Structure 1
Amino acid sequence: MAPVTATNWAAFTAAEPELAKTVEERFGAFTHHVLATLRKDGSPRTSGLEARFLGGELWLGMMPNSLKALDLRRDPRFALQANPGDGTGMGGGDVRIAGRAVEVRDPAEKARYSEEVEPPEPFHLFRAELTEVVRTSVEDDTYLVVQVWRPRHALRTVKRT
């Protein structure tokens, strides 16, 4: 099986600026979102998470030795779902990001992040490498619209009635 291509947030934004703006707005509407990781036995684990878009990257910060951080150290694959709120005002639609999390261990890079975010110390910091971005929305109260973006592929849009 061929390896899955991944890219950073800046490359996605350059490729699909309108979709990237919508995704950032959906994540910006709430502080806490849902992260899915894989446990040792391969079963899924979901956890709350604050995600940040800074300097052309999507960052995932976590408490030290949290189960989600340990999961990502063992298997970097993740899915991140924007908080839908109460479900009545899903302006921008439902958005999800999948990818691989790369742990940042360099103290200087963590210090630069801390200047912007001020996380509690100590903390784990992961930079997201995107493998897929999906937005699902309703258009004209008639169509379900699914937009799927993957690195090295054109944005695919499917409308269903």
Structure 2
Amino acid sequence: MTTTWADFQQAEPDLAATVRERFGKYTHHVLATLRKDGSPRLTGLEAKFPLDELVLTMMPDSRKAQDLLRDPRFSLLANPGEGAEMGGGDVRVSGRAIEATDQETLDRFAKAIGAPLPFHLFRLDLTEVVRTTVENDELVVRTWHPGRPVRTIRRT
């Protein structure tokens, strides 16, 4: 069963709004994929919400696209911003990236993001969403997994 952004948004609307806001603060974020040998690859990426869905788009045959086509597991970290303040906290979504290949879907998203084809379009099957903040003197980690409520851990 696939867990889409809409599923997450319906299950946890407040956390989803916070996550979307964090991704919206900056254009570029950090994508983690797995290379052929299993080692991690970190690359910059624009994360977008065209048609109200978080998707990943990449140039044809880019290394990160090749990674996801071979092994769809990913983690996407929202740009934390400048300095050590991390205003708004740290946000990460993880799961599996599923390439959309049907022409109708590609055309709809190309129009929505204003980018010409060809490009790789990956829809996301979310397996984890994490928000980390500092509140007063506590580190607060909120974690969501499909089918479960948000779990909060506080550390001093």
TM class by shorter chain equals: over 0.9
In structure 1, which of residues 137, 154, 160 is the aligned counterpart of residue 149 of structure 2? 154
* Structure 1 unaligned regions, length at least 5: none
Q: Contact 1:64–1:122 (CA<8 Å) still a contact in 2?
A: yes
TM-score, normalization by structure 2: 0.95
Amino acid at match of 1:151: P
Per the alignment, in what secondary structure is the counterpart of residue 11 of structure 1? helix
Amino acid at match of 2:145: R
* Structure 2 unaligned regions, length at least 5: none
Structure 1 runs (4+) greater than 3 angstroms displaced = none
Query: Equivalents in 1 of 2:75, 2:83: separation in Å?
Result: 20
In structure 2, which of residues 49, 55, 59 is the aligned counterpart of residue 53 of structure 1? 49
Amino acid at match of 1:156: R
Q: Deviations over 1:1-60 (max 9, x none)?
A: xxxx65100010111111111101110000010000000110000111111123342100
Amino acid at match of 1:59: V
Which moved further from structure 2: 112-121 or 129-138?
112-121
Q: What's 1:28 paired with?
A: 24
Query: Equivalents in 2 of 1:14, 1:120: separation in Å?
Result: 31
TM-score, normalization by structure 1: 0.92
Per the alignment, in what secondary structure is the counterpart of residue 149 of structure 2? coil
Per the alignment, in what secondary structure is the counterpart of residue 50 of structure 1? strand
Q: Contact 1:6–1:151 (CA<8 Å) still a contact in 2?
A: no
Question: Where do residues 75-114 of structure 1 align in structure 2 (5 Å cutoff)?
Answer: 75-114=71-110
Q: What's 1:70 paired with?
A: 66
Identity %: 61
The CA RMSD measured in Å over matched residues stands at 1.3
In structure 2, which of residues 35, 38, 42 is the aligned counterpart of residue 39 of structure 1? 35
Per the alignment, in what secondary structure is the counterpart of residue 109 of structure 1? helix
- 1:115 offset after TM fit, Å? 1.3
Query: Equivalents in 2 of 1:13, 1:97: separation in Å?
Result: 13
Per the alignment, in what secondary structure is the counterpart of residue 7 of structure 1? coil
Q: Contact 1:132–1:149 (CA<8 Å) still a contact in 2?
A: yes
